[in-house]
Each structure stands twice: as structure tokens, then as C-alpha cells.
Amino acid sequence: MQFAASKTSASTVDIAVRSGRSGAEGTGVILTPDGYVLTNNHVVSGGGQIAVTLPDGTVKSAQVVGTSPSYDLAVIKLDGASGLTPAELGKSSSLTVGQQVVAIGSPLGLEGTVTSGIVSAMNRTVEAKGDNGQPVIYNGIQTDASINSGNSGGPLVNLDGQVIGINSAILSSGQNSGNIGLGFAIPIDTASRVANELINGGVATKPQLGVTGTDSGTGAASVSSVVPGSAAEQAGIKAGETVTKVNGRNVSSFADLVAQISANAPGAKVTLTVTDGQGNNPRDVEVTLGSQQDKAPQTTGQTDSGYEQQDPYGSPYGSVPGGR
């Protein structure tokens, strides 16, 4: 763990955003020597002046390059930066449950804090409030590594010091807004795709299935309507049907369907298992996902969610300590 912490700390920065009397604090991952940094959208979406503290204590101003609300990701560019140490990115698809991981960030403004834990679960449907109050839904990595307010946007790394996730949210209990061992990270396979799009064009894309729906009574996703001309319509999916699996993995709710679809890149082919409204007559349907610019988060249109308390770190923006 010492090797992983030392290696990745050289590529981890503290981010402070101030706008009037309010502010936000978070963490970022250096992607390029000239200062492109990946972080969470909810860290920078409130606007204001961005100050980034490098591992050597140097402070640089930064500008937002682009944001991806559906994945709670953003890329910022440091002003006048050069010679920085980019993080080594791993593959979240190669993770296994029980694998040891390390989280690095600035919880409550304590820069360079390192905590450790394991991968508690994979493919966890995470529904957290975004900057506009709408839920951000993604297919996340669950970890018990201690992460708190200020860890937002920081790296979750394997013991080789490779970034395998971007820390984004925790699930708290009752009045306890701190860590209780239920943290979630955006898989780096998704985050790196989004970051590359933001760096190259300032806009990210997301896959589009083209349905609205609700939770079915059988624990799957019931299709309420199908968007004309969408990937779903072209694949023959109809309103009133139920999606029970994506690529062979069970769908537990409509939010879970959104999360599983969002884990794919636009243009990817996925196999959906679809039944009639009574759960009978199952059939497999191959769908080529469409593409849509990511300017607003994916939502279920539902207010009753199992992750309703799961704001990013209890408070989407946190606060900036008076002295740093």
C-alpha cells in the first residue's frame, strides 16, 4: 500500500472553488503533464474561482474545460502548468471483489490523506444528487476505504498505484453524514472515456437506449414509452414490455437499467432480455446504443429511490475550510 500511496500522491491535487462567501473543496487526478485534471462535476459546477494545490504545495488557478453531468465528471485545465506527473490509469474491468484498494484525497481539507480498504462490490447502482438536484445514476465500484467530504474527484487505486476509480459518493445513515464504510467510485474505464472526450472537444457523450419507464412489480424495469427513432425502437422494444437483463446480468429496477446502459460507450452493442408485461415470453434483443451529448444527468423520473439519502458526501458541495 505504501508504494501505491506514494506513486499516486504525486498525481493527486487539492481543488478549492470559491464563489462569494460559498465554496467547494475536492480532489483531482492529473491526466497530462500540462495540467489537464479529472475531478467530479459537483466539485466545480457551482462556478467561481478555482485554485489547485499541487503535490509540491504550488497553487495554480484553473478553468473548467468541460463537464459530464450524467457521470458526475469534469475536466479542468491548470493555468501555466508543465512537467506534472500524470496518473497511471488501470482497468476497472479487471477488478475483483475483495481486492485491496487505496483512496487518496483531501477530506475536510486535509490534503494528501491516504486511506485503505477493499473492493466491496462491483456494478453497484449508485443514485446520488447532482448539482441541479436531479439524480446522477451510474454503475459504480463500492469500497469500504474511508472517504469523506473533500475526497470528491480523487483517485481510488490498486496496489500497483493505478487509478481504477474516481471517488464520488458515500451512503450515510440517518443524521450521520460521515463515512460508514459505504463509498462509491466511478469506474475508470468510463471516466477515462469521458475525460478524453472532454479534453478533445469540450463535450462528452453518453449512450442512449431511448425508453422511459418505472420499476416493475417483478423487480425489473418496465418500459412506459419508447422514443421514436431510438435504439430501442429500432430493436423492436415496445411500451409495456419489461427489461429483465442486460448482457445476461439481472436488472433490479429502472434505475439499475439506466446504470447498466450508462456503463457502455455510445455505439456499443448490448443484449437485452425482454418479456411481456406479465414477465412471460422472454426473448433476447440486440441493441446498438445511440449517442447523445451529455448536458444533463440521466434520470429515472422517480422520486422514491433506495439511494435517496445518497448525496455526494452528504453535501454535494461541502465547504471550504477557512484556513488551508
Proportion of the chain above pLDDT 90, given as a percent: 71
Q: Per-residue pLDDT averaged across 4-28, rounded? A: 91
Q: Is the pLDDT of residue 321 over 50?
A: no
Q: Is the pLDDT of residue 135 over 90?
A: no
Q: Considering only 26-40, 147-161, 162-176, which range has the smallest mean pLDDT?
A: 162-176
- 1-203+296-324 topology per CATH: Thrombin, subunit H (2.40.10)
Q: How many CA atoms lie within 13 A of 53 on its CB side?
A: 16
Proportion of the chain above pLDDT 70, given as a percent: 87
Per residue in 196-239, pLDDT tens? 999 999 999 999 999 999 998 888 999 999 999 999 999 999 99
Q: Is the pLDDT of residue 26 over 60?
A: yes
Domain ranges of the chain: 1-203+296-324, 205-293
For residue 278, the model assigns a pLDDT of 86
For residue 306, the model assigns a pLDDT of 29
Calculated CA dihedral for residues 303, 308, 312, 316, nearest 10 degrees: 60
Q: Which residues contact 78 (CB under 8 A, 6 or more apart)?
A: 34, 35, 36, 37, 52, 60, 61, 62, 84
Q: Which residues are catalytic?
A: 42, 72, 152
- Indicate the SS3 state at residue 45: coil
Top CATH class, 205-293: mainly beta
